[in-house]
Structure 1
């Protein structure tokens, strides 16, 4: 349930804002609020200030999880303030102007999403700069500056307090300094810096002041081995660090000092675990890499807000290596990656993944996309979905999407959800509303009745699943009738010979016009079985696309027989993945089923591909199934 202030609390907070910061001219209202409702109060420049003041309204409705030693000291409610120059384009949705608003909303939601707290002196990092023209990628909270003497806190009617903190954007190096030296030391350096955001202000740190940032530490993994009593040699705590370091050495990404100090390692980097333990104190530090190596490591080694992440790739390898049942067993205690045999094969398999991430990172860096932020359609989708989601803007490389669905699949098995990537567009929105809320006449305004949608989902999930054999026989029979009406020979012209074929490699998320990915939502659907997503996302029921009820029956059959799961859908396309290609002796029967469900994959193919036999040959070589309804 979305958290909000009570009317009395809201009136009290608004009174405090206007009394201490200035008259609110505009409120940027939030349309969709998945957890807490966060509006932005805008106070324009006035006689006492030559800057805009933006104040959150709603963060304090959530009580943060403060440490035990601070409980009872009234630090568990907060609102945020940021000051912007008087020429700032407050109403613009372009990223170069919108980023402070997005930053305030992200920071305001962080405590609720991560079950943590924010207070004076805290700093929060972003993996990349807030916008293309902005040097900042971190922010620190200090006491409210853009206000009068009483701005620091607001006392609510029940005597509780809401604290107001100023948001100060930081350079990456300043954030590292904050981590190493503390907030007070950084504030001493920032004394001459105005709290009003200036994207051209200099970095307050000299080069020699920048601490040696810690990227990885084997102690974290040694602690897991000791605390859980794992039956492994402690040297395995250095495994994935050694693989990453070796890959960096082989790709000339090491820093000058490291190269001078350890030339013998550059010559023979095979097993670096003992070297890392004895010579590097089990740590991977910024100074060990050159600039390009550090930039890639910061993107990939866990500092990125969206996939891919190196630790997750290591975990995913262990998941594939051991299989789901053993991976999640008590034997490994959530540390399966420590049990993978450390040999050359292991290195080569992880190195191949790192190489893929490297290529994607370079592509994303070279072809950066200027993005204005999520649209109102995205907000409507997230509200309709009513489950945890991740949003992916248009990108020149789809590697983050591939990583996201892979990680979410593993997490879903553990946490009890089914992930699916959704290509958002108007037609899909209309389809979902038409099926789940047919009385709705405001689909074009992104309005729907949540109660009716919930009732529709409940009905589909509780009703018995249709008999898949009957559904498939009917659909295949329909195709046979169409062939007969068109005077086509079923065996010769429709089935054809099982020859040719190629591995299926469609990707629904690509926009062929822009050469970028579509905006995509990763939804973690709260159902336990893959076929149940069609109750949550009632895709289908138009043209030759089966109804949601039929889709549930069909995909249940395919999951139980082949392990097929839906992974991505748009308004007229669907992709499903299988753990291995279908054996040839099953492929022809499956291809007939696919043809019954989706005739366009054959009827609208090229002359060489327009037979069920050709599709069967492709299915016998593919881990991906593709459907397209014109």
Structure 2
């Protein structure tokens, strides 16, 4: 059996709250996350919810390595190199989806790509204007979408007793995905591109990586988006990054106004 990443890295962890009530635990753990964020962020430590059994094998698979880094020093070297690669992996590459589903391979110039992207944002409708005019900041929020917590199949893939908050010594929130990489399965981009996306979402909107799962990820915003220009730009980004959950502009815009969390899912 491979060694747990948190044990290998000697990372302090706090168990997630688990009482058996999915909806209540969802909100309780979201509040615990905010509490930990308030306590540790100024110290250069960021909390992130992960699976307790996340091990070194998962890191190897995500990074595309042929070997397992079985020492803390080796792991840290790979983490630093993965984060360094992000400097050469811009979000614009993801935005063009050149590495996501190859739809833009036929375009020969940045101008052609820009023209395509502009068509992703339709004229603002009366329906959207109504949504924006009546938007109010939500008082409750969760790590997962609350709709997920009421589905019959939710107990099949959500077990809070199997989760914990890892307290990572990182300088920037997006570096979390260097320590716990995500990607390189099915059509999901490699970890360095997820870090580039996380960096863009944080710098533009203050979105922090809150939860890293096997095929799911959650971002947290201290202050939900309420400005029209921010919502329009964020909607375009989310539709391109995750077309499975953010399928069209009106539903995406409505789904992020006033919400503290954004969900991502790559099947």
Same fold, TM-score > 0.5, yes or no: yes
Shift in Å, 1:621: 2.9
Deviation of the 1:525 alpha carbon: 0.6
Cα separation, 1, equivalents of 2:48 and 2:101:
29
Distance 2:238 2:102 in 1: 13
CA shift at 1:462, angstroms? Answer: 4.3
Distance in structure 2 (CA, Å) of the matches to 1:612 and 1:479: 19
Indicate yes or no: 2:239 matched with 1:595. yes
Of 161, 179, 182, the match for 1:539: 182
Partner of 2:253: 616
Q: 1:480 to 1:568 in 2, by over 3 A?
A: same
**Displacement, 1:540?**
1.5
Q: Is contact 2:30-2:142 (8 Å) kept?
A: no
Contact 1:385 1:523 in 2 (8 A): no
Deviation of residue 526 (structure 1)? 0.7
Q: How far apart in 2 are the matches of 1:518 and 1:466?
A: 38
Q: Report whether the alignment pairs 1:577 with 2:220.
A: yes
Pair 1:565 & 2:202 matched: no
Question: Any unmatched runs of 5+ in structure 2?
Answer: 107-115
Distance 1:400 1:618 in 2: 21
Kept in 1: contact 2:47–2:210 (CA 8 A): yes
| 2:59 maps to 1:432 | yes
Q: Give the aligned partner of residue 111 of structure 2.
A: none
Q: 1:395/1:560 Cα in 2 relative to 1: closer, same or farther (>3 Å)?
A: same
Answering whether residue 15 of structure 2 is matched by residue 410 of structure 1, we say no
Q: Residues 463, 472 of structure 1: CA spacing in aligned structure 2 closer, same or farther, 3 A cutoff? A: closer
Q: 1:310-352, CA deviations, whole angstroms, 9 ceiling, x for partnerless residues?
A: xxxxxxxxxxxxxxxxxxxxxxxxxxxxxxxxxxxxxxxxxxx
Structure 1: tracts of 5 or more residues without a match: 1-375, 442-446, 485-489, 603-609
Q: Which has the larger radius of gyration?
A: 1
Is 1:457 the equivalent of 2:79?
yes
Distance (whole Å) between structure 2 residues aligned to residue 391 and residue 506 of structure 1: 15
* 2:216–2:263 CA contact under 8 A, matched in 1: yes
Residue-pair matches, total: 234
| 1:565 CA drift (Å) | 0.5
Q: Is contact 1:431-1:539 (8 Å) kept?
A: no
Tell me the equivalent position of 2:47: 419
Alpha-carbon distance in 1 for matches of 2:208, 2:62: 22
| TM-score, normalised by the number of residues in structure 2 | 0.71
Q: For residue 218 of structure 2, give the secondary structure of its aligned residue in structure 1.
A: strand
Secondary structure in structure 2 of the residue aligned to 1:625: strand
Deviation (angstroms), 1:464: 5.9
- Give the drift of 1:522: 0.6
Give distance in 2, aligned partners of 1:455 and 1:513: 37
Q: How far apart are 1:479 and its partner, in Å?
A: 5.8
Query: What displacement does 1:626 show?
Result: 0.8
- Does structure 2 conserve the Cα–Cα contact (< 8 Å) formed by 1:531 and 1:555? yes
Instruction: Say if 1:572 and 1:628, in contact at 8 Å, map to a contact too.
Output: yes
Q: Could you tell me how far 1:401 is from its partner in structure 2?
A: 2.0
Hey, what's the Cα distance between the residues in 1 that align with 2:85 and 2:71? 21
SS in 1 for 2:96: helix
Distance in 2 (CA, whole Å) between partners of 1:581 and 1:477 is 29
The equivalent of 1:468 in structure 2 is: 90
User: CA, structure 1 residues 522+542, in 2 after alignment: closer, same or farther (shift >3 Å)?
Assistant: same
Q: What does the per-residue CA deviation read over 1:49-75, in whole Å, with 9 as the maximum and x for residues that have no partner?
A: xxxxxxxxxxxxxxxxxxxxxxxxxxx
CA distance in 2, matches of 1:629, 1:586: 24
CA distance in 2, matches of 1:478, 1:525: 28
CA contact (8 A) 1:405 1:419 kept: yes
Residue 512 (1) aligns with residue 154 (2):
yes
Following the alignment from structure 1 to structure 2, what is the Cα–Cα distance between the partners of residues 424 and 597?
Answer: 27
Instruction: Calculate the aligned-residue CA RMSD, in Å.
Output: 3.7
- Residue 451 and residue 516 in structure 1: after superposition, are their counterparts in 2 closer, same or farther (change >3 A)? closer
- Partners of 1:495 and 1:543 in 2: how far apart? 27
How far apart are 1:449 and its partner, in Å? 4.4
Alpha-carbon distance, 1:533 to partner: 0.8
Q: Report the alpha carbon displacement of residue 425 of structure 1 after superposing the two structures with TM.
A: 5.5
